[in-house]
Structure 1
């Protein structure tokens, strides 16, 4: 076995481990993965690491992108072949395509598309600078892979677990694997995630790493860095017979055997060409002084500015309206003529702001940093975190929000902040999380069944963990809710069980534009027990 064969096999093994570990993070049904391992596994993901660094300015906790850049300057785009989950997924798809294909030569050299490549890179760079996180959401390869795992693979895993694995193991009295409830998201994110991965899969099936070398901004940026890499794949013209085997296995389609050249900006350092060359005419060695013309960024077409703010606003309104029409049954459209007489005068819930996850800080900061990778959605044990549609507007499309129609936030849980790779949701100690005010509960007396039906309820008060909602005397022995907003944390434990249907809840949470600290609730003095006293029986 030669050194290049060993490198190729090592690359395949490492990439497989990275893909499996990343996949497990998103489909961890039983929460077996400790929270601290999330940061360890995702530390080198490029875009999340950059955004995390911008949020905390700490290389110790968010310096993965710097390691990737150093690795690229040394060896080329090894990140794309070993660390990027979307890149590894494309390799798997292309491998299947080559197995099924009858072609002897699957790939051949293709010209690059520099205008497209640098345009997408420019768009993402400007988006990060000006805080347009929603653009990064759709071009970051890690986030695309994350949404694919969350909205497509996790439901399949839950179905397999509930329908096959758990029943079979329980027949053998093995109960460590059990039935798991899946909180399904809106239909639109599922369809968009499916459409995105299908398109990328088609590119991978037909053209290998076409997406990585045409659209992906991370691939383009690392391609620029790889032009200056110390080690490069190079030809030895004296021994090359132009058999074409190297070009036939180059999934980046960047080997030009006619000119004995390799486009290192597109090469993903997979070592396939080095391993297959019968004359060892290709080798990985220190780069010679390059005679190639450097990239002329003046020739690259950059995105044009919008003509006017009015045009931009009209487009946004059109997109938001379209998204709202596509949300289906999850956008509640109660018709008052179908409601009981006692509920025909209900007031619509007026939510000024959506509720962001605990640790998000403020909505603008959250929208700027979050890439919508959905890891927090996948990790949330209650399923209250769901991808947003129109909740944040276009800027926060697909970013998570607290959906109290699905469930409520567990008072003793802070997992979303522990797993977030970008720092959009900052980790909070449990004691601090329990007083972080994401929003404030608002009571609408006219909607309450105690008022409309003159019946006993109190579901909101029973579930409130801070006792911000209490029941006070109303009339004829009935009691009605009262809210103390100073100790309310906006967890939604009152909104979720309210029997009045959405969007006319008798109690709902209005999100804070900027999260605050609530007052600590007074649960009274704990009863002291004298352990020395004899038992009374």
Structure 2
């Protein structure tokens, strides 16, 4: 009964963490406060490490709590906190219900070369300043992308269907949400990864966690020395195989009655199935020291190696980032003009535009794990995952997509409030409104005022800082003029420009390093102050 309650408690905690984390990504009505979202993400290992390096504060030290808990109780993070691990458990649970087999799992050998090789590559890439490998392997970021690009679109679609039905009955408790799809490259990649995770967990339980995931491998090194862990009593064990069949980590070897603790995720599934009381979750015995034998095929990794690995992550305060120049979206040729009009000029960015609070492209590329939380939370959908904008090093990291998605709201700081890694640092509203992400560039040749001789002014009307103004042109028309000192690069001018991409008449050229824009001068009042309050 005690072991059964232990498993039920673990399942309840896991479902709570998973539900809250999932909701933070699909919260289309912005019900969850940013502070609450940050508290949920606090214990996610990789984001916590990256943010701790930036702020060096206990407010970002969730990974230290995970390390301590792992040393005490084993890989609790993997079984009850990690959203990707819990997602795998859900598929494993479905498999158990569908496949009626007495022996579901059995002991499988470890692959230390693959496990520790991937861990070493991830740490090395982090030290040299590129987050690409971490982006691809981090369990939290992979789960976040599944939530953002696979689950949220379905959730929004369902909301829109229900909202349409309710509005037909004159009930307006829900409203239609604009659904902006990520590029097909991102959608296909995330969908394939989702299918792969589902298949592996359906067939082999936690294989991804114990073969590919660098966080699981690192915590596995620490959990080998855990004070409290599952132990087999050789005197009581009858080798019935029930525990091994229930072990989703496939780490219980009945032949030697040993457990590979580097792969055990502390799920407690093995405890309630043992009718002989031969397997327990307990401290080591002083009378008979339980020796953790290395499973065949597993190389010995001592505690010093685990600590050295951890220090290699947390002590890397200097991050040397790589970045690729933005490649732009368009590759088409300029369209020929009508009559004697010149052909359109391509409006291609030399540098992509990074979110406010990221400080620079170089810094952003080195810290962002492309989890998609800021993309999911952006109210105008201007943040979209990059494909080639940053080059390979920034694959799936968010960039400001003004032409296809939206613009950056002048009064919004949501992305900087919830970023879990510190890649986007918090900004006050005053700071955000003066942070220059890029500068507007006006292409006169493409402007409809110049080409078609018609009124427009959409860019000037939407500019929140008055960096774009309309000046006299010809035949009574006015044409845009840009004051780049006032521009903050929000894209409110580029997004509504009626000229089709990639020939926008005005576009934002990204700043490799963010700058500070000048404050717009307040217009003087047309009314003169009176000398007396009551002049009559």
Q: TM-score, structure 2 length as denominator?
A: 0.90
Give the equivalent residue in structure 2 for 1:307: none
1:184 to 181, 205, 210: 181
Q: Does 1:264 align with 2:261?
A: yes
Give the equivalent residue in structure 2 for 1:160: 158
In the TM superposition, residue 381 of structure 1 has moved relative to its aligned partner by: 0.4
Q: Does 1:467 align with 2:469?
A: no
8 Å CA contact 2:336–2:344 kept in 1: the answer is: no
2:242 to 245, 263, 272: 245
CA distance in structure 2 between the partners assigned to 1:227 and 1:56 by the alignment: 31
8 Å CA contact 1:12–1:82 kept in 2: the answer is: yes
Give the equivalent residue in structure 1 for 2:131: 133
Q: Cα 1:526–1:18, aligned 2, differ >3 Å: closer, same or farther?
A: farther
Q: Cα 1:339–1:149, aligned 2, differ >3 Å: closer, same or farther?
A: farther
1:372 to 370, 373, 379: 370
CA distance in structure 1 between the partners assigned to 2:477 and 2:262 by the alignment: 73
8 Å CA contact 1:139–1:216 kept in 2: the answer is: yes
In the TM superposition, residue 500 of structure 1 has moved relative to its aligned partner by: 1.4
Alignment of 1:94-493 (within 5 A): 94-163=92-161, 165-170=162-167, 174-287=171-284, 288=289, 290=291, 292=293, 295-296=299-300, 331-336=329-334, 340-341=338-339, 344-405=342-403, 406-493=405-492
In the TM superposition, residue 339 of structure 1 has moved relative to its aligned partner by: 5.9
CA distance in structure 2 between the partners assigned to 1:487 and 1:533 by the alignment: 37
In the TM superposition, residue 447 of structure 1 has moved relative to its aligned partner by: 1.5
Structure 1 residue runs of 4 or more that deviate by more than 2 Å after TM superposition: 167-176, 287-298, 330-344, 525-530
Unaligned runs of 5+ in 2: 306-321
8 Å CA contact 1:460–1:497 kept in 2: the answer is: yes
In the TM superposition, residue 517 of structure 1 has moved relative to its aligned partner by: 1.1
CA distance in structure 1 between the partners assigned to 2:525 and 2:101 by the alignment: 77
RMSD after superposition: 2.5
Q: Secondary structure at the match of 2:479?
A: strand
In the TM superposition, residue 275 of structure 1 has moved relative to its aligned partner by: 1.4
Q: Secondary structure at the match of 2:387?
A: coil
8 Å CA contact 1:355–1:510 kept in 2: the answer is: yes
Q: Secondary structure at the match of 1:500?
A: coil
Q: Secondary structure at the match of 2:271?
A: helix
CA distance in structure 1 between the partners assigned to 2:114 and 2:342 by the alignment: 55
In the TM superposition, residue 125 of structure 1 has moved relative to its aligned partner by: 0.6
In the TM superposition, residue 173 of structure 1 has moved relative to its aligned partner by: 5.1
Q: Secondary structure at the match of 2:248?
A: coil
Structure 1 residues 139-181: Cα deviation after superposition (integer angstroms, max 9, x where no partner): 0000000000100101100111111x22344466542321111
8 Å CA contact 1:21–1:41 kept in 2: the answer is: yes
In the TM superposition, residue 525 of structure 1 has moved relative to its aligned partner by: 4.3
Q: Cα 1:51–1:269, aligned 2, differ >3 Å: closer, same or farther?
A: same
Q: Secondary structure at the match of 2:272?
A: helix
Q: Secondary structure at the match of 1:212?
A: helix
In the TM superposition, residue 343 of structure 1 has moved relative to its aligned partner by: 5.9
In the TM superposition, residue 334 of structure 1 has moved relative to its aligned partner by: 4.0
Structure 1 residues 368-401: Cα deviation after superposition (integer angstroms, max 9, x where no partner): 0000000000000000000001111111010000
Structure 1 residues 341-377: Cα deviation after superposition (integer angstroms, max 9, x where no partner): 5665222224221000000011111000000000000
